[in-house]
Amino acid sequence: LVGSEMCIRDRYLYPGGRQDPEILALEKASSDDFFMERIEGIPSPPQGMVFTEIRADIHIQDVKYEPDVPVHIWIDPGYAEAYACEIVQVVNDQIRVIDEIYERDLVTDEMIDIAQSRPWWRDAKFGVIDIAGYQHQAMAAPAERWLERTGIYFDSQKIRINDGTERLKSFLKTDPVDQKEPRIVFNPQCKGILSEFGIQPNPFDGQTRAYRWKMDRDGNIVGESPQDQYNHGVKAIIYGLINRYGYGYVTGSNTIKVRRW
């Protein structure tokens, strides 16, 4: 009954519903955490999360594999913690993470077997992998094994983690007034990377194991880089975004060199 009364009240106060100008103005003026928790009733991510920009109501969409559209495989071979393969299609310049292979304690050949069994495999064309994927271990490096078995070359480069994080945040950013589609969306079945964002529990043990900043006892962020764990799906996406779009801004220096004529 209370819920029904609240709905009637809200429709009276905000006749435009979710798209009412006053609601949109409040959304633009508030932080995402405040708006989601106080206005929409969606719990805020746990404290210390690296990515607070992701919104379950915006960035999680039922995007599915579209035949004849090239498929990109973006990989961070985290081995014991998580070997993450994020499966991407780019449609209307929107990054759609349509599927994911997120496993633990599997070797590259087993990951390839899983990939080749998926419906999207016939359109798999491009790959990006962590630069560590070219480092030799007891057997062939992961990138070389993918190339040998699938014929797909996996591009790679060294990524500055904080700059890469900022690039992903730029794709997550939305404008509630313009109501444009977000630049990146995730299928709800991509439970590994969604657990790293703090939206779903870890698929291996059901616990909350999200990508976080280092925190002191008082809840303050310590250091300039996040903890390097529970981030393999996130890093795979970062590698792919940087490879395809670059950093998007001037990095690596406090000064900008100007050619004088």
- Measuring CA to CA, which residue among 78, 61, 81, 74 is closest to residue 236? 74
Residues across the chain: 261
Give the pLDDT of residue 225. 80
Whole-number Å distance between alpha carbons of 78 and 72: 19
Prediction pTM value: 0.76
Give the pLDDT of residue 135. 76
Give the pLDDT of residue 16. 76
Task: Give CA torsion, residues 6, 200, 240, 67, to 10 deg.
Answer: -80
Whole-number Å distance between alpha carbons of 237 and 233: 6
Q: Can you tell me which residue has the tokens 């070997």?
A: 83
Quick check: 104 and 209 in contact, CB under 8 A? Answer: no
Whole-number Å distance between alpha carbons of 146 and 127: 9
Q: Over its length of 261 residues, how does the chain's per-residue pLDDT go in tens digits? A: 333 334 544 555 677 777 788 878 777 665 565 566 556 665 554 568 888 888 898 999 999 999 999 999 999 998 778 999 999 999 998 999 999 999 999 999 999 999 999 999 999 999 999 998 887 654 578 999 999 999 999 999 998 888 899 999 989 987 656 657 889 999 999 999 999 999 999 999 999 899 998 877 777 777 778 888 999 999 999 999 999 999 875 444 443 333 333
68 burial class (0-12, 13-18, 19+ CB within 10 angstroms)? exposed
Give the pLDDT of residue 23. 78
